[in-house]
Structure 1
Amino acid sequence: MTRRLFPASPGVQVHASTLLPLPGRGVLVSWFAGPHEGHPDTAIRVLRRADGQDIIVDLFPGDAQPHWNPVLTWGPDGAVWLFFKRGHRIDEWTTWVAVSPDEGRTWREPFELVPGDRSGGRGPVRQAPVHVGSTWLAAGSVEEWTTPRWDCFVDLSTDDGDSWRQVRIPLDHAATEGAGCIQPWVVPGTETALVMLARSTAGAVFRSVTDDPAVWPELRPTALPNNNSGIAVVDLPGGALACVHNDAAGDWGARSRLVVSRSDDDGLTWRQVAVLENGTPGGADGAPTAAGATGIVTTGDGEYSYPSAVLVDDELWITYSWQRRSIALARLPIDELG
């Protein structure tokens, strides 16, 4: 495994990275950066690494609203699309899209993904949209903090992202400990067309499978532990799934160990196959000290979390938050995930 860190400036926290491979093994990496989650000066930062150069830009500074959770992808027009959330409270997020026609060198002014929608954010929240036949599927979620109640959805577009239809994913809240599930990932399955895996407050990753992207059964817990922190899921050659996650359980649990687990049965059962970060011996465990509608409170000490992952040739490329001081990029050969 190889790893590279992209440090932040002193006093700046960085989090929620996303990555997009470029031709020639270049890469775009984006994250949000600012004094802390929910601070008005928190902005989207984009790093372009290509042709032996690193170029870092902050997008749309001075907006006076926090920016959150960027998601990079290739748009239907062949340009780079960057989705991000905007708003002081998570339950009041709106989703915006910035487009780069030149692989991240320059960016156009953003537009709202679903104009006027105030449901708490539409479109993708962590994973890049995926193509299911002629449909563009964006996995998202909403967080109601007053109750609290969290739910997953998919947004479906059949017109290259011009319009979106939201489909909520059922969850038995009465039988689920805590607020619920958020930040789902959707990947191809072997027994069914699509597998959804989601973060939860109930100590485990939750799962749903379907052959129809517009109809999903209830999310149910798996044996894969979850600490109410983000995961990343990739389908491997041959049909296996790889999940990058913290291996702790519990609501707002430790974020100190970051590992890769493998499933050969569409996410029903899992085994750990790699360790990216083993924590800080004798140090902090990275768990948040408080959480609310304006984000979590944390020093970041001992935290290795919030992965994003893609396959590039014969490697799994993973970005993640490194104690909120840096974004790490790890490259792991997929033959080490057997």
Structure 2
Amino acid sequence: MRLRETGPGRAEATLTAPVPQSHAANLAVLPGGDLGCVWFGGTQEGVHDIRIWFSRLAPDGDEWSEPVALTGDPDRSDQNPLLFTDPGGTLWLLWTAQHAGRQNTAEVRARRSSDGGYTWDEPRVLLPADQTRGVFIRQPIQVTASGTWLLPAFHCVTPAAGDWSGGDDTSAVYASDDSGATWTRHDVPGSRGSVHMNVLPRSEGYVAFYRSRFADVIRSSTSPDGLTWTEPEPTALPNNNSSIQATRLGDGRLALVYNASSAAHATHRRAGLYDEVDEHGALGGQDRPALAHTGRADSTEAFWGAPRAPLALATSADDGLTWRRHTDLAQGEGTCLSNNSRDGLNKELSYPSIVADARGAVHVAFTHHRSSISYVRLDADWPGWRETA
């Protein structure tokens, strides 16, 4: 997991855990200046051996630490981790825990560390699932000027007939004024199908960007206080029903990493996200073949299977109103008609995380074929900052 220079102003590393599958990385600068990366890994998403893994890189280091597992519930699949350092310097790990492929059973759990991630307290439930929809997270917590913590989340809604499929999911912000002890929910209006809400401060209030369950375009909305939001509206950037993430650069621009693809680029689609996992959280579910696709998006149901590649980078100087696409960070097939990475069936380059450090370097981590996490460091002199794709 040693860094290697791969071009002017660019270095890379591959993070591997001792499990077949790795997915959904999140980066954060830790107390003390180390860079931390968390992701989930195990046999396959939805299987009950999925755990949260953690690795770190010193500011002047050239090698990531050996990953360690931070969770271990034998009855749930642990997914979508994130790291957050609170105003008092305590490091938090948050993640979701669900039964098998039923995201509507997910609850948000947390652990805390007072020494920058070397030791942790016992896991606890932060946000419980209710009877009809689970609570899922993906994006970092923001802290307002008044000290309120804002945790973006989405609710995995089960339809009146059938199982969870994602098309009815909605977004909300959970707010805490007591350092995470209690939370209140503030729903985002008109957010059906808009998930993975990524909240960022702007000159006046906040802006948020969303993944689209319908695999058409990234959406955005604004808020004066982080609690009351406008309805998500389409942007000009495509989305394939896969995760995105943005951060604020030192020069004030927003930088966003995403897959520049959508349902319009798909020739086939999946019947569901967890077809290969049974109701008990083990492999052996329905192995349904991919379905031919006409290339049109449909806002009545979630679309799974649009290519998860290339991994694109765009910047905005006007808080997301317009975007400039730069040199792609990774290119490939992006095939994701199966979550099976053990047999090389999955070729996605997806679920990016991006963070800028105090030195001006930009760090990106993303899923590579669901078998490892790819890490990229972009320095200020990286030529891609000047280039347009």
User: What amino acid is the match of 1:166?
Assistant: R
2:364–2:376: 8 Å Cα contact kept in structure 1? yes
- Aligned pairs (5 A) from 1:1-16: 1-9=10-18, 12-16=20-24
User: What amino acid is the match of 2:319?
Assistant: D
> Residue by residue, what CA displacement relative to the aligned partner does 1:260-292 show, whole Å, maximum 9, x if unpaired?
01122221221211311011xxxx432234xxx
1:168, 1:114 → 2: CA distance? Answer: 15
1:258–1:276: 8 Å Cα contact kept in structure 2? yes
1:325 matched to 2:368? The reply is no
Counterpart of 2:323 (choices 270, 274, 287) is: 270
Alignment correspondent of 1:84: 95
2:105–2:129: 8 Å Cα contact kept in structure 1? no
Change beyond 3 A, Cα 1:185–1:116? closer
User: What amino acid is the match of 2:179?
Assistant: D
1:149 matched to 2:159? The reply is no
1:27–1:48: 8 Å Cα contact kept in structure 2? yes
1:307–1:320: 8 Å Cα contact kept in structure 2? yes
1:91, 1:56 → 2: CA distance? Answer: 29
> Residue by residue, what CA displacement relative to the aligned partner does 1:175-209 show, whole Å, maximum 9, x if unpaired?
xxxxx11101011224x321100000331000101
Deviation at 1:120, TM superposition (A): 4.1
1:239, 1:303 → 2: CA distance? Answer: 31
- Aligned pairs (5 A) from 1:145-224: 145-146=158-159, 148-171=167-190, 173=192, 180-190=193-203, 192-202=204-214, 203-224=216-237
Deviation at 1:239, TM superposition (A): 2.9
1:93–1:118: 8 Å Cα contact kept in structure 2? no
> Residue by residue, what CA displacement relative to the aligned partner does 1:143-169 show, whole Å, maximum 9, x if unpaired?
224364011111111111111111111
1:216, 1:5 → 2: CA distance? Answer: 38
1:285 matched to 2:330? The reply is no
2:380, 2:198 → 1: CA distance? Answer: 20
- Aligned pairs (5 A) from 1:5-154: 5-9=14-18, 12-22=20-30, 25-50=33-58, 54-88=65-99, 89-114=102-127, 117=130, 120-122=133-135, 125-133=137-145, 134-146=147-159, 148-154=167-173
1:127, 1:268 → 2: CA distance? Answer: 21
Moved more, 38-47 or 111-120: 111-120
> Structure 2: any 5+ residue segments left out of the alignment?
1-9, 161-166, 264-302
User: What amino acid is the match of 2:76?
Assistant: Q
1:172, 1:47 → 2: CA distance? Answer: 34
1:171–1:220: 8 Å Cα contact kept in structure 2? no
Deviation at 1:238, TM superposition (A): 3.6
1:138–1:154: 8 Å Cα contact kept in structure 2? yes
1:32–1:42: 8 Å Cα contact kept in structure 2? yes
2:206, 2:366 → 1: CA distance? Answer: 25
2:367, 2:158 → 1: CA distance? Answer: 24
Deviation at 1:62, TM superposition (A): 4.9
Give 3-state SS (helix, strand or coil) of 2:327's partner.
Answer: strand
User: What amino acid is the match of 2:114?
Assistant: P
Change beyond 3 A, Cα 1:193–1:301? same
> Residue by residue, what CA displacement relative to the aligned partner does 1:292-311 show, whole Å, maximum 9, x if unpaired?
xxxx5665632110011111
Give 3-state SS (helix, strand or coil) of 1:197's partner.
Answer: strand
1:91–1:143: 8 Å Cα contact kept in structure 2? yes
2:68, 2:328 → 1: CA distance? Answer: 31
Between the two proteins, the alignment pairs up a number of residues equal to 319
User: What amino acid is the match of 1:13?
Assistant: Q
> Which is richer in strand?
1
Deviation at 1:121, TM superposition (A): 4.5
Alignment correspondent of 2:299: none
1:311–1:317: 8 Å Cα contact kept in structure 2? yes
2:374, 2:36 → 1: CA distance? Answer: 13
Identity %: 32
User: What amino acid is the match of 1:84?
Assistant: W
2:89, 2:211 → 1: CA distance? Answer: 31
2:351–2:366: 8 Å Cα contact kept in structure 1? yes
1:311 matched to 2:356? The reply is yes
Alignment correspondent of 1:292: none
2:134–2:156: 8 Å Cα contact kept in structure 1? no
Across the aligned residues of Structure 1 and Structure 2, the Cα RMSD in angstroms comes to 2.2
- Aligned pairs (5 A) from 1:220-259: 220-250=233-263, 251-252=303-304, 253-259=306-312
